[in-house]
Structure 1
């Protein structure tokens, strides 16, 4: 199975917070999941922790390399730029990642790298992996909170993404 490609400054184990969520689902394909992640208009329909998504260059709602957008999550206005973008191609995983940041002083500043990998597996299965690393005081606070809100919220995002794709495949 493939892995997330990490910028050196966001390598898990070197940041203030890290979370990883993964599912492997039968009877679903990467090409069926991808549209619900790639089209940011779909996010609030299946993930309640993402709202007010705005693209600065008016090219959204679909992601692309270099796209600049912001959205509200965990009560933060997160500025984001897509730094990796590989749509699904037969035999290769789909990938998307963005650098996100929250402006502010040392108590409020947050830097993140959020990455997704979607790949077809043998046996008519799909694997969806999302991982995020964070740097900053808010990240330290999130990391010490039990249960971990990042892991729980990202699992909701992952479950919602898969459910949306499964629902769409039923209506085909």
Structure 2
């Protein structure tokens, strides 16, 4: 798998799901190490992303995500149960990666939503950082989101990226 691209699990490859969104920013003056803790600590999400609420871990885990952790949060009007499926902190020459499988609704229910939400955070030359987030979705709610204009997923995830960058910059002040 390419080191600078999202790793997609079987069943969630873009183009073969009901909805897909991709957002990316590249900014100067920040590093992956400065952004990473804000991204992998769900309790901080509501402090910079208004579309995230009530994050909590299951099984006494946290406060930062780790591979296999179960957690919960609310977003886009959905109560999302999630499990971290990939966690690799950024290191010299290697991007940080975090991803989770999230779901809302009961299996087989008409309102069931399943998502794979992945992030890649990497340092670039010139003191820049690249933050990429992509999400694939399956289920009737995903089809509705895909048809909505303006696209709520694209706009919501852009807000998340911009909030993350702004929070990281404020932490440097």
Match of 1:86 among 88, 112, 119: 88
Query: Which residue of 2 is the match for residue 136 of structure 1?
Result: 139
Deviation by residue 1:116-152 (Cα, 9 ceiling, x = unmatched): 0000011111000000000000000000000000000
Query: Which residue of 2 is the match for residue 158 of structure 1?
Result: 161
Gaps of 5+ in 1: none
1:10 partner SS: coil
Query: How far apart, CA to CA, are the structure 2 residues paired with 1:94 and 1:58?
Result: 24
**Structure 1 segments of 4+ aligned residues over 6 angstroms from their partners:** none
What is the aligned residue count? Answer: 170
Query: Which residue of 2 is the match for residue 125 of structure 1?
Result: 128
1:80 partner SS: strand
Q: If the length of structure 2 is used for normalisation, what is the TM-score?
A: 0.95
Conserved? CA contact 1:106–1:136, under 8 Å: no
Task: Confirm or deny that 1:113 pairs with 2:108.
Answer: no
Conserved? CA contact 1:106–1:137, under 8 Å: no
Query: How far apart, CA to CA, are the structure 2 residues paired with 1:139 and 1:59?
Result: 29
Question: 1:8, CA displacement in angstroms?
Answer: 2.2
Query: Which residue of 1 is the match for residue 72 of structure 2?
Result: 70
RMSD: 1.0
Match of 1:45 among 44, 47, 71: 47
Q: If the length of structure 1 is used for normalisation, what is the TM-score?
A: 0.96
